Amino acid sequence: MLAEVVKICQQEKIDSIVCGLSLDFSGQNNPIAVDAKNFCDQLATKTGLPLNFENEALTSVLAGQISPRNKELDARAAALILQRYLDRQS
């Protein structure tokens, strides 16, 4: 999977990476966070691109409120994470 994402980054001329940071309600890493952070770190290393983490708290809940279709839930949550990041940049 890592190689596929690296290839997409190269093909699409991506200039930075935004990864969701999975924290629990006390602000600590949850069990998924360690694996996700390792993947993102490897991706940044392989691509040489800057890596940005954005808190993904409640994005799945919000995505489910937008549209309850589970098939698209992860994509909608990812869009919300990216939008949070972009909003903080302006």
Report the CATH number that the domain containing residue 66 is assigned in CATH: 3.30.420.140
Q: Are 24 and 1 in contact (CB under 8 A)?
A: no
Please answer whether residues 2 and 46 qualify as being in contact, where contact means their C-beta atoms are separated by less than 8 angstroms. yes
pTM of full prediction above 0.85: no
The candidate with the shortest Cα–Cα distance to 40, out of 30, 31, 51, 55, is: 51
Total domain count for the chain? 1
Q: Is the pLDDT of residue 85 over 90?
A: yes
Pairing of strands 17-21, 51-55: parallel
Instruction: Give the separation between CA 8 and CA 75, rounded to whole angstroms.
Output: 16
Low-confidence winner among 3-17, 55-69, 74-88 (lowest mean pLDDT):
55-69
Q: Which tokens hold the place of 21?
A: 């940071």
pLDDT reported for residue 13: 96
Q: Which domain range does residue 67 map to?
A: 2-6+15-89
